Structure 1
C-alpha cells in the first residue's frame, strides 16, 4: 500500500472516531423501562416469604428415586426440543452482529492484474501490456438518529428472549418427563393390584365350585364369580398398553428410540411420593424466575427498540464514501507508469414524500410494543393463576390420601369377614363379590390419588419456575440487557 493511501485511510479513521463520539447521544424513540404491574403480597394459600432464585433447585430429587434423577440428568442434555432451543441462541447471537454492522464503516479492497496484447503474423506477439491495479472503498452511513443502535438493542433483547425460550424448553421437558415417569409407575401399580385381584377372585371362584359340589351354592353363583375373574383379567392389557406408551414417551423425551428404556422401567420401583417442602414463594418471584415471563419482557424490549429504529428513518441520513485506486501499467519496450485516482464525499438522503409509509411504520411498531406489553401482563397473570391452582391442588388432594388409605383397610377387612362368613354358610356369595369390588375400587382410587398428588407437586414447582438451570449455567449466563 502506498504512503498516500495509508495517510488518507488514517485520516478517515480519525474522522470516524470523532463523529462516533459526537453522535453517541442522538437516539430516536423511547428507552425501554422494565414493565411493572401490581401483584398481591402473597398467594392465597401460600406464605409471605420470598423463595429467591429457584432456577437451580432440583425439586425432583424430593421423590427420592435414583432412576428418575438419572433420567432427568440425561434428558436435560439430550432432549431434542431443548437442543433446538439452544441452537436458536447461536442464530440470535449472530443477529446482534448483523444488526449493529450497518452503523459501522465498511471497507473493501479489490486487486487485479491483466495481461493484454496483439498477435500478428508468424505467431509473433506485438504490444504486450501488464496492468496491475487495486481499489480501496470506504463507506459509512452516519447514524445520527440511532437507527442501527436501536436495531442492535432490539437484537440484543431478542437474544435474551432466545435464552429465555431455551430455559422454558427445559422447564417444559422437566414437567413432561417427571409426569410421564409418575404415570408409568402408576400403571405398574395398577397392574400389580389387578393381578392380585385376579388371584383373590380366582380363589373365590374355586371356593364357589366347591360349594356347588357340596350343594351350598348355585350355578348362578359360579357364573358370577367366574365373570368377575374374567372382567378383572380384561383390565390388565389396557393398563399394560398405557405403561408401554408412557415408557416409549420417556425414551423419546431423552432423544432415544421408543422402547429403549422398557427393560429398565419394567423394574418396578413403586409410585413416586414427594417428600419435600411446599415452597411457593410470593408472586413477585415469578417475574424473575419464570422464563416465559422473562421472554415476554425481552420481546417487549425488542419492540420498544424497533420504535426508535422506525422513527430514525423519518429523518435525513448522511453517508460518507470514498475510494482510492492505484494502478501500474507497463508496456513492452516502454517504462512502467503508475496512476492513482481517488474520490471522497458525503451524500444526503432526505425523505420528503413517501405516501405516509415511514410514519405508518412507526405506528406499526408502537402498536406492536403495546401488544407485547399486554402479552407480558398476560404471562404474569397466567403464572400467578398456575401457582394458585397448584397450591390448591396439592393441599386438597393431599387431604384425601389418609381417608382413602383408611377406606382400603376397611374394605380389606370387610372382604376377609364376608369370605369367612361365606365359607361358614352364614352369608351369600354376593356379599363376597361386592366386598371384592369395594377393595379393588378403593385400591385403584388410592393409587390414582397418589399419582395425582405427585403430579401436583410437579405443577407447583414448574409454575414457580424452578430447576431448569445448573449452578454453573447461572454463573456463566450473560445478564439480560433492558435496552
Structure 2
C-alpha cells in the first residue's frame, strides 16, 4: 500500500512544470494600411499575398532564377543544415525523459592485498584470480518539476527560430535575386539608350563636319560634336562593367562561379513591368508572415521555457535504478543462477548549497526573457516602419517615373526641332548639343526609374514577408 501511494504521488508530481507558461505577444499592428490619396497610381489592396509574388512580373527567366537560388544558394543550404541541427538537438533533449538501459561485460585478472579488509578470492593476496562480470543496468529520472519538459519546449522553440531564420534567408535571397535581375535589365536598357544616343551624336558629328567642309560652320562646332561622341563612348565601358558585375552577383546567388550565367543573361530583354495595383494583405497578417517577427516570437518562447528549466534545478530529483547481472571467478560459472547479482531502488538528489549558481542562473534567464520581449517589440516596430517606407518609395517612384517619361518626350521633340533648325543655319550647334545632352540624361534617368519602380516593389514584398510562407 505504501509503495502504491508513493508511486501515485510521484506520477501526479510528474505532470507539473514549474516556471511561467508562454503566451504569444500582441504585435499591436494598426487595423488598416495608410491611405496615400488619389495622386498615387497604386493603392494598397488588402488581399492575401501570393507566395510566389515574383511571377507578377511575367518573366519566366526571373522565376527560374529565384527557384534555382532557393535550392542552390549556399546561405539557404547552410540555413537548412542549421534547421536539421535544431531538430536533432530536440531529439537529444527529449531523450532525457526516457529510461536509460545499458549492458556491460568485463573480465579482470586481479590480485588483492593480503592485509586488506576485503579479499573476494579468499587467497589472502597470495595469488591472482580471474573475475568475470556481466550486468544489465537501467535508470530513469522522474521529471517531477518539468525540467525535461521545459527543455523540450525550449528545443521546440529553437526549431521555430531556425525555421524562421531559414525562411528569412529564402525571402532575402529571392528579393536580392529579383533586385539584381531588374537592375541588370536596367543597365542593359541604359546600354541600348547610350548606343542610340551615340549613333545620333555620330550623325551630328558627320553633319557638322560636312558643314565645316562647306565653310558654313566653324571648327569649334566640330570639336564640340566630337567631344560629345567621345563623352557618350566613355559611358559604355562603365555600363558594361556594371552588367558583368550584376551577372556575377546573380551567379553567386545561384552558388555558381563568376560569369557562369553570362550565356543566359547577356541577351538583353525588356524590363519586367510591375502590376498597377499590388496585393499586400492586412496589417494583422504581418506578424504571421514576416520571418523576423516569427523568429523574435520564437526566441521569446525559448527564453520563457528556459526560466522553467532554471527553476526546476531548485527542486529535488528522483531517479529509479536497477541492475541485474552475474559475477564469478570462474568463466564457466557465468550465467549460472548462483552467480547472479542484482540491485534496485530509488535515489534522491537534493541541491542544498550551490554557492549562488542556481539563483544566478534563474536571474540570468529572467533577464534574457525581458531582453527577448524588448527585441520582439523592436522587431515589430521596425517591420512596420519598413513597410511604410517601402510603400512611400514605391508610390513616389511611380510619380517620378511618370514625370520623367514626359520629360523624355519633350526632350525628343526639342532635339528634332533643334537639329532641323541647325541644318537650316538658324541656331548654333551648341544649342543642339545642349538639347542632346538633356535627352540622354532624361532617357538614362527614365531607364533607371523603370528598374527602380520594380525594385521598390520587390522591396515592398520583402517588407511584407511575402515568399514561401508555408515552407
Give the TM-score taking structure 1 as reference length: 0.86
Structure 2 residue aligned with 1:208: 208
| 1:154/1:303 contact within 8 Å kept | yes
The answer to whether residue 321 in structure 2 is matched with residue 321 in structure 1 is yes
| 1:103/1:142 contact within 8 Å kept | yes
Structure 2 residue aligned with 1:40: 30
Match of 1:84 among 78, 90, 102: 78
SS class of match (1:102): helix
Give the distance between the partners of 1:290 and 1:37, measured in 2 at CA: 12
Deviations 1:194-244 (A, max 9, x none): 111111111111111111112211111111111111011001100100111
Structure 2 stretches lacking a partner, 5+ long? 37-42, 111-126
Aligned residue runs from structure 1 range 118-197, under 5 A? 133-197=133-197
Give the distance between the partners of 2:102 and 2:428, measured in 1 at CA: 100
Give the distance between the partners of 2:401 and 2:352, measured in 1 at CA: 74
- Give the aligned CA root-mean-square deviation in angstroms: 2.7
Structure 1 residue aligned with 2:16: 26
Q: How big is the shift at 1:272? A: 1.9
| 1:113/1:130 contact within 8 Å kept | yes
| 2:131/2:329 contact within 8 Å kept | yes
SS class of match (2:81): helix
Q: How big is the shift at 1:393? A: 1.3
Deviations 1:17-70 (A, max 9, x none): 967742343111000000114221112137897544x4x521111111111111
Structure 2 residue aligned with 1:243: 243
Give the distance between the partners of 1:332 and 1:146, measured in 2 at CA: 47
| 2:132/2:331 contact within 8 Å kept | no
Structure 2 residue aligned with 1:343: 343
The answer to whether residue 413 in structure 2 is matched with residue 384 in structure 1 is no
| 1:280/1:387 contact within 8 Å kept | no
Relative to structure 1, the CA distance from residue 331 to residue 293 in structure 2 (aligned partners, 3 Å threshold; closer, same or farther) is closer
| 1:128/1:332 contact within 8 Å kept | no
Give the distance between the partners of 2:25 and 2:10, measured in 1 at CA: 31
Structure 2 residue aligned with 1:109: 103
| 1:114/1:132 contact within 8 Å kept | yes
| 1:106/1:140 contact within 8 Å kept | yes
Give the distance between the partners of 1:189 and 1:148, measured in 2 at CA: 61
Q: How big is the shift at 1:381? A: 1.1
Give the distance between the partners of 1:414 and 1:85, measured in 2 at CA: 56
Relative to structure 1, the CA distance from residue 78 to residue 239 in structure 2 (aligned partners, 3 Å threshold; closer, same or farther) is same
| 1:188/1:243 contact within 8 Å kept | yes
Aligned residue runs from structure 1 range 41-56, under 5 A? 41-45=31-35, 50-52=46-48, 54=49
Give the distance between the partners of 1:15 and 1:164, measured in 2 at CA: 46
Deviations 1:152-195 (A, max 9, x none): 11001101111111111100001110000011111101111111
SS class of match (1:352): coil
| 2:45/2:279 contact within 8 Å kept | no
Deviates further, 57-66 or 339-348 = 339-348
Q: How big is the shift at 1:465? A: 1.0
